[in-house]
Each structure stands twice: as structure tokens, then as C-alpha cells.
Chains A and B, each alone.
Chain A
């Protein structure tokens, strides 16, 4: 079974704090993704990575950065958390094959910024 894990299910941080969200996958997938999910907006892509040390901006990268030092791990960083970054964050991974290959999602991290 493909497994994608995220470091926390729930996280509460204060405005201005630096926040790290960790994601690990155990299927040797090349691609990894970070989304945020907000009611009515579905999932929106923040960043993705198709290889170690490679990253690409998604639709809403502002206020976020990412790190991929190892193939299995993809970190999302909020340099200075703000209240409008309160959201559910979902990590996903997929092999680098054709688009028929689905993405496999982690359980999500619900982040609250006070």
C-alpha cells in the first residue's frame, strides 16, 4: 500500500512564526505536491516537485516555500505565518508516468494561525 504521511494532523501557530509541514512517502515516487484546501475552493496547488532539489510554483505560491532534499520527503515552509494561511494542507505523491497514475494523498494537516 502506498503511504503518504504528514507530520501533524492539527497545528496551532502564532502570527509571524516560522512553520514547517513535513510530508513523507514510501513508494519511491518522483512527484510530490503541496495543496491547500479551503471551503468552496477545492484544492489549490501551492508547489510541486518532480525530483530531488527541484521545485515548481503552483497556483498560489506566495507566502510559502518548499524543500526537497531527499526523494521521499517534501517540506512546506511558511516563513512568517499569517492568519490567512489558516487552512487544511494536503500533501500528495505520484509516479512520473502518464496522467493515468493517480496522486496519493496524505491525511492532511489542519493549520490554525492565531
Chain B
């Protein structure tokens, strides 16, 4: 069974600063995928970034980067230059190689202060 743990229920960050959202995972699969989603107050889940377990480079998408440390089983999301619009819930999720089923963490609520 897979398990995702997000230990920060809520976080504040000052506008324009960088912030790291923690995610650790547990799986016996050798091949898997890690995802981050953003959920603003409107409720829709927005895909941010993906990291494959065999990808050699850490994934980056604009201001988002994924700090993947396979030996530590961590996949932290780094948001650079925070903006007020980044205030939202953030979810870490993983899927096994065999399919698209996702296991989600409990989420982190990020609040960006002006």
C-alpha cells in the first residue's frame, strides 16, 4: 500500500519569498510517479508538477520545482517568489507505475501575506 504524508497543515509565507511544502511517501513499488496539485478556494484541483521515480533531474515548471530525494522518500514542492494568488490548499499525490490511481496526502494550506 502507498502512503503520503504532509506534515504541515498550514503555512504562512511573505509575498515574493520562496516556500517549501513538505511531502514524504511510502511505497514498495520500484517505479512510481509523484504529483502536486493546487486547490484554490473555488475547489478545482489544478495539476502543478510531476516527478517520475526514475527521472534523473528534479522537475521544474515555471515557479514550481520539486525537490526529489528518493533515498529519503521525499518530494517537496518549492514555490519561488510567492504571489498572493498562490494562497490555496496544496496536495501531494503518488501513483504506481501500473496505472493512474492516485493516493493523496492530507494537504497543506498555504497563506501568502502581502
Contact = CB atoms under 8 A, between A and B. Distances in A.
Contacts of B97: 98-99
A28 to B, nearest CB: 15
B95 interface: yes
Interface in A67-114: 88, 90, 92, 94-108, 110
Contacts of B106: 40-42
23 contacts: A31-B100, A42-B4, A42-B6, A42-B105, A42-B106, A42-B107, A58-B101, A92-B45, A98-B97, A99-B52, A99-B97, A99-B98, A99-B99, A99-B100, A100-B33, A101-B100, A102-B47, A105-B37, A105-B45, A106-B44, A107-B42, A108-B44, A110-B43
Interface of B: 4, 6, 9, 32-33, 35, 37, 42-45, 47, 50, 52, 91, 93, 95-107
